[in-house]
Amino acid sequence: MHRIAIILCLVCASVGASPAAWAQLPPDVSLAVGGRVWVTSGYGTHSISLSELRWRGVDSVVSEVNLDVVWNRFVVMGSMGGGGISQGVLIDEDFNNRDHDARTSRTRSDVDDTGLFYVNADLGFRALRWGAREQPGFIDALGGYQYWHETYVAFGATSAFPAAVPTISSTAKVITQDYYWHSLRLGGRAQVPLFGGLSLKARAFLLPWSYSILDDVHHRRGDFRQDPSLHGEAAGGLGVQADAGLTFRVWRGLSVEVGYQYWRVKSGEGTETARFTSGDADTRLLENRTERHGPYVGVQYRF
């Protein structure tokens, strides 16, 4: 509720200045400011030659602020968001071969004290437009960049192979992982006016290339360095990001929206360096993957 209140205050502050803004903006310029609250379910995977860590149910309520500028047919979009993560589980498995079909250990840990942050920046062209300024219809072609960072912290461990890995107290911090994504985005968006101030809107992006960085700290391992214990990098891979919903014009340029959003990005193969106290050793990074989806509500004011 605090996130929603903050976003509403930001947009309402913009609305308060709207008469002057309407007078100052030329007719070929449109400016929209808004906010969104995204209630997400989250998942992450980190896989190397002989080990795989799976983060499940790392859910978050994500707050976002966004800006949208259209000049003639030139489009500029930007958004920034983040949220805390205080739930979820980590499944940590080790194997004796790269095919991961012969497990040698398996632990389960609880997740807390984590969070995420992202920034999107896109440029585009308005390929088609129709309707009124207050409730426009349009189709845009877009391309841009995304920075996405998620941090997961695991506490304690229950072991399915106690002879290999003993149980660890639930208060002990065991693993911290940071996933960093730098991705290109190619796609588009559309808004279709329906009736009585109601419009359908949708966006879809393909992430044709990403650069993934992973930093891992094994807090209970004395044979690992702690700054970090493991460092992995991978380029390539593929991702998709899409959302769709309904928006309703309440008054003048003020509108509210509701919908569903899905993000998923997967790396190509890369190299991971295990940073032992006795020296470094490289292994093959098979995959990093981050996924997040859920419903959203938002508010926007278009000048």
pLDDT value, residue 11: 47
Compute the half-sphere exposure of residue 244: CA atoms within 13 Å on the CB side of its CA: 3
The residue among 196, 207, 198, 211 whose CA lies nearest residue 268 is 211
- Between 142 and 221, the more confident residue is 142
Average pLDDT on 231-250 reads 96
Confidence check: pLDDT of 5 > 80: no
The tokens of 21 are what?
């803004």
| Strand 103-111 to 114-131 pairing | unpaired
Mean pLDDT of 24-47: 89
pLDDT value for 84: 97
Residues 6+ apart with CB under 8 A from 236: 209, 210, 267, 268, 269
Cα–chain center distance at 251: 31
Within 8 A by CB and 6+ apart from 179, the residues are: 44, 46, 148, 149, 150, 151, 152, 212, 213, 214, 288, 290
Does residue 110 register a pLDDT over 50? yes
Residue ranges and CATH numbers for the domains of the chain are 2-302 (2.40.128.90)
pTM, full prediction: 0.88
What pLDDT sits at residue 219?
Answer: 94
| 28-37, 184-193, 251-260: range with highest mean pLDDT | 184-193
